[in-house]
Structure 1
Amino acid sequence: MKLTVPLLLLVLLVVAGLSRAQVKTSLLDLTNSIGSILPSLSRPANHSRIFYAVMFDAGSTGTRIHVYTFIQSGSEELPVLDNEMFHSIKPGLSAYVDSPEMAGHTVKMLLKVAKKTVPRLEWKRTPVVLRATAGLRLLAAEKAQALLDQVQHVFDESPFLVPDNSVSIMNGTNEGILAWISVNFLTGHLKAQTKKTVGILDLGGGSTQITFLPKLRKTIESVPVADYVARFDIFNSTFELYTHSYLGNGLMAARLATLGALGVEGLEWRVFKSSCLPKKFRDEWSFGGLTYQVSGDPDGYAGYKLCYQEVLKVVKGIIHQPYELQDSSVFYAFSYYFDRAVDAGLIDGVQGGMLEVRDFKKRAKEVCNKMTKYPPISSFLCMDMTYITCLLKDGFGFKESTVLQLTKKVNNVESSWALGATLDYFHNLKIH
């Protein structure tokens, strides 16, 4: 299915604070600026031209490449998003904190996807950009920079166009906002005549994001600090998004916090126990370049109630509950929300599906209370499903009847911030 990008580009230009009179000129400027990045070949004036962009998502548990194909129909028309090629590699760059050159090797491997997707003649005009998320935010600055330097070196050696600021760590708030814009564009909710939109819930390995358009003024007025609100103008209306990114509350970081293993010394001789794990389970588990000894509690009890009390301490007093979470607003939930729902047999791994919050709770109870007799496919499934339930209910404050749309792709495009970030690169989205 072909996806029309013009509407989102118009939105983003108005977001930047442009009047209607300025927008028409700016659309032409944007077309021209893309043309200057991607020099035109000698072709008839009405010939459709194709151009490409490569966006790397360097997450805490994996590195993903998105290769977007755009079509430019004419000099005065905006491009159309035609296709996305997606590929990912595990683990994330942060796993190579002690051997940064491996981070460069990972990116070099993924660049092969871009070379296969983008015709050789277009390489020099195709920009490559990498944005790192919570995995690198959780590292010490100098260690994160060492990893980014390796990526920059690989980019500089590649045959692609390397723009200024091509490799950096993305701000967590922008991660949520760009994902919201991407999903609402792809679902057709960014239209001039309606303010009906969908919220987004993104659960990564290191951080989690919530972004939605409130309907009640008190939701905006009751935020704990100002940076929970992003304001911008669309079609002469001012939109105020409720948005926040919680570093340390992604699924993998939450496992560490539940186990009491965050920032603990002497990992080689410590064993971290949890009633969220099968009683006889004992194994090594790695995240962020460190390896932990983890086990169930062989002398204690396991099950949903005890597990919930463990994960509650990771959520309570940390996750702010918005004043309103409208039942009429559908939330799209992706990343680990989707993956764990598939693992638990709640949704199809290709189609996704609609779930209520209570569906996570019900399956968490089943998995946790039966894991002694029926070991789950993942030893962490009880902990993960319980954490997701707790995050949604006691964290954000969703009702058990709240409907979530679990999705991996929308109209054949990955549900993530990457499309929004690619468009952001082309014309510097200004968010206040």
Structure 2
Amino acid sequence: MRIPKFALAFLFVVCVVVYLTYVKYHNDDKRPTLLKQPLYHWAIDHHLRPTSAEVVSEDFLYGIMFDAGSTGTRIHVFKFLLQPNESPKLAHETFKAIKPGLSAYADDPDKCADGILQLLESAKDNVPALQWKSTPLVLKATAGLRLLPGEKANHLLTKVKEIFGTSPFLTREESVSIMDGTDEGVSAWITINFLLGGLHTAATPTVGMLDLGGGSTQITFSPKDEKTIQTSPDDITSLKMFNLTYTLYSHSYLGLGLMSARLAVLGGTEGQPLQEGQELISPCLAPDYTGQWEHAEVTYTLRGQKAGEPIYESCLMKVEKMLYKKVKKVEDFKDMEFYAFSYYYDRGVDLGIIDEQDGGSIRVSDYIEGAKKVCNNMTSSSEGNPFICLDLTYISVLLQELGFPVDKVFKLSRTIDGVETSWALGATFHFLETL
């Protein structure tokens, strides 16, 4: 029986349609899905994923983190690459900083607007416009605002919320807040271990983290000794990242950041101006030194003691007295590698022990010997930082009070693979997970 030509044509068309349908279904079934990936379940949240008409690249997501510190405000714009069956990768970071910190505007919050708007323009320049409304915008304030009276801090945060509310980015009620000191330490620990690859597999050992900011200082590590966990319950936290759970020791010391500690050693009180004609006299300054120093919007008149007293020994006594019983000693560092940031890094550069751009390694003993040398060779005409003797002495005592032996080696690094080694990346991960 002969089959009519039109029937053959119809049969051919049906076969083609069936084949194309099968191919499309088969390919769709093989297409990577984010639903099964650890951590970035947030990627398929409707608040974060652009609609089909807006997609620029569904493999990339962005996060914007403002770090409102005591001495300045920094913006980090993170671009994350999402790949199937792998943890997220940081594809790019944009970093920009302005001074002073938010706390400098405590008495006139409106004046902080120009700086915040300037940083928001940088964010717009580095996030594709079609993804603005799906990109989370967050500001976390640290010790600078923690040290302010509650009402003044709240007025500043309210002003920032108003500014963020006019931006095209994704914001929520919790997008602007003061960061708990312990969270700051944990977030910095996440950052450094993520960048070093220590969070991607249980077989890779993690490193400890030390951060010395202007108003506070943090120590965070994963303890190996069960005794540390049992004797420090208030400092122990559990963290889950990439389907792995970590037990962390993290403690933040408010008021023991370098700038706040400097004021305390000099004899001043945070937020309290001196009476007219009053001076702060300290053996940690060069003999016969006179000058002024501004801290947290208060200007202090300073004077060094008369020549004749041994500067290092006298300064050491002042620092030890200020730190007496303020720091918990932990002895679980024997074979653990530690990274140190912020003012630990800056003073290491001042000593000439590490390179300003590339960082390096430093021992506790380097800070001790550096303090002795600097203190005993200071004169009122010395150029540079008049507080270098005080700062180095304070750092050397702080590290020993924390429990580190004098031969302990720290790695100092501002960036790893071009990424700032701050708490901002870790905090961004945490915030994205909450969404």
Q: Give the TM-score range, shorter chain.
A: 0.7 to 0.9
Match of residue 285 from structure 1? 293
Offset, 1:97: 1.2
Q: 2:422 aligns with which of 416, 419, 429?
A: 416
Equivalent residue letter for 2:198: H
**Is the alpha carbon distance of 1:28 and 1:253 closer, same or farther for their aligned partners in structure 2, counting shifts above 3 Å?**
closer
Q: Which residue of 2 aligns with 1:30?
A: 42
Quote the residue 2:80 is aligned against: 70
Asked if structure 1 preserves the Cα contact closer than 8 Å seen for 2:228 and 2:332, the reply is yes
Local SS of the residue matching 1:185 = helix
Partners of 1:176 and 1:244 within 8 A in 2:
yes
Which one of the candidate residues 304, 324, 327 is aligned to 2:332? 324
Q: Which residue of 2 aligns with 1:123?
A: 132
Q: Distance in 2 between matches of 1:412 and 1:160?
A: 25
Change (3 A) 1:55 1:237: closer
Whether the aligned pair in 1 keeps the contact of 2:273 and 2:300 (CA below 8 Å) is: no
RMSD: 2.5
Question: 2:323 — aligned with what?
Answer: 315
Q: What is the match of residue 244 of structure 1?
A: 251
Note if contact 2:202-2:244 (Cα within 8 Å) is conserved in structure 1: no
Instruction: Encode CA deviations 1:48-73: one digit per residue, 9 max, x unaligned.
Output: 54332110000111111101112345
Cα drift, residue 105 of structure 1: 2.3
CA positional deviation for 1:100: 1.2
| Counterpart pick for 2:71 among 58, 61, 73 | 61
Task: Describe the superposition over 1:190-223 as per-residue Cα deviations: whole angstroms up to 9, x where unpaired.
Answer: 2434262110000000000001112211122222
Change (3 A) 1:258 1:93: same
**C-alpha distance in 2 between matches for 1:160 and 1:401:** 48
Q: CA deviation digits over 1:124-161, x for unaligned, max 9?
A: 22221000001101111001011111111111122222
Paired with 1:324 and 1:78, the residues of 2 have a C-alpha distance of 30
Structure 1, 277-286 or 169-178: larger mean CA deviation:
277-286
Tell me the distance in 1 between the aligned counterparts of 2:256 and 2:200: 33
Pair 1:202 & 2:211 matched = yes
Cα deviation 1:260-302 (Å, max 9, x = unaligned): 1014454443211111111232222112222211221236635
- In the alignment, does 2:233 pair up with 1:214? no
1:168 to 150, 154, 177: 177
Given candidates 120, 140, 150, the residue that maps to 1:111 is 120
Match of 1:403 among 385, 409, 418: 409
TM-fit CA distance, 1:407: 1.0
Q: Distance in 1 between matches of 2:419 and 2:129?
A: 24
Which structure is higher in RCO with an 8 Å CA cutoff and minimum separation 6? 1
Which of 259, 262, 272 is residue 280 of structure 2 equivalent to?
Answer: 272
Amino acid at match of 1:119: P
**SS of aligned partner of 1:52:** strand
Tell me, yes or no, if structure 1 residue 345 matches structure 2 residue 357: no
Q: Structure 1 CA distance, aligned partners of 2:392 and 2:131?
A: 45
Task: Give unmatched runs, 5+ long, in structure 1.
Answer: 1-22
Aligned residue number for residue 303 of structure 2:
295
Q: Is the counterpart of residue 146 in structure 1 residue 155 in structure 2? A: yes
1:369-380 alignment to 2 at 5 Å? Answer: 369-372=376-379, 375-380=382-387
1:89 has 2:98 as partner: yes
CA distance in 2 between counterparts of 1:28 and 1:391 reads 38
Secondary structure of the corresponding residue to residue 80 of structure 2: strand
Alignment length, in residue pairs? Answer: 400
Structure 2 gap ranges (5+): 1-34
TM-score (normalizing by structure 2): 0.85
1:345 aligned counterpart, secondary structure: coil
Q: 1:378 to 1:424 in 2, by over 3 A?
A: same
- Relative to structure 1, the CA distance from residue 91 to residue 392 in structure 2 (aligned partners, 3 Å threshold; closer, same or farther) is same
Say if 1:279 and 1:302, in contact at 8 Å, map to a contact too. no
What is the CA–CA distance in structure 1 between the aligned matches of 2:423 and 2:55, rounded to whole Å? 35
In structure 1, distance between residues paired with 2:39 and 2:253: 35
Distance 2:244 2:89 in 1: 25
Aligned partner letter, 1:318? K
- Partner of 1:11 in structure 2? none
Residue deviations 1:104-130 (CA, integer Å, cap 9, x gap): 222112222212222333322222100
Q: Secondary structure at the residue paired with 2:93?
A: strand
The amino acid of 1:31's aligned partner reads A
CA change 1:256–1:243 in 2 (3 A) is same
SS of the equivalent of 1:377 reads coil
The 2-side partners of 1:265 and 1:91 are apart by 19
Partner SS for 1:333: strand
Percent identity of paired positions between Structure 1 and Structure 2: 46
- Residue identity in the other structure for 1:313: K
